[in-house]
Amino acid sequence: MAMTPTALPTALIVEDEPEIAELVKFHLQRTGIDASITRSGRRALELARHSPPNLMVLDLMLPDLNGLEVCRRLKENDATKSIPVVMLTASGSEEDIIAGLEMGADDYVTKPFSPRVLMARLQNAMRKRGVSATQPADILTRLDGKLVIDRQRHVVTCLGAGISLTITEFEMLLTLAQRVGFVRTRKQIIAAVHGPLTMLSPRTIDVHMTAIRRKLGAVGAALETVRGVGYRFSEDGLE
Q: Do domains 10-128 and 139-233 have the same CATH topology?
A: no
Backbone φ and ψ for 144, nearest 5 degrees, come out as 55, 40
pLDDT in tens, 106-123: 998 888 888 888 888 888
Alpha-carbon distances of 225 from 169, 183, 221, rounded to whole Å: 16, 9, 10
230 within 8 A of 185, measured Cβ to Cβ: yes
Give CA–CA dist 149/170, Å, rounded. Answer: 9
Q: Residue 73: how many CA atoms within 13 Å on its side-chain side?
A: 16
Q: For 80-145, where are the E strands, in sequence order?
A: 85-89, 107-110, 139-142
pLDDT score at 121: 87
pTM, whole model, 2 decimals?
A: 0.58
**Mean pLDDT across the stretch 135-143?**
71
Q: Which helix (H) or strand (E) holds 156?
A: strand 155-158
pLDDT score at 179: 84
Q: Provide the residue ranges of all domains of the chain, joining segments of one domain with +.
A: 10-128, 139-233
Looking at CATH, the fold of the domain delimited by 139-233 is given as Arc Repressor Mutant, subunit A (1.10.10)
7 within 8 A of 31, measured Cβ to Cβ: no
Backbone φ and ψ for 146, nearest 5 degrees, come out as -70, -25
CATH assignment, 10-128: 3.40.50.2300
Backbone φ and ψ for 238, nearest 5 degrees, come out as -80, 140
Give CA–CA dist 146/216, Å, rounded. Answer: 10
Give CA–CA dist 223/239, Å, rounded. Answer: 12
pLDDT score at 119: 85
87 within 8 A of 107, measured Cβ to Cβ: yes
pLDDT in tens, 173-202: 999 998 888 899 998 888 888 776 667 777
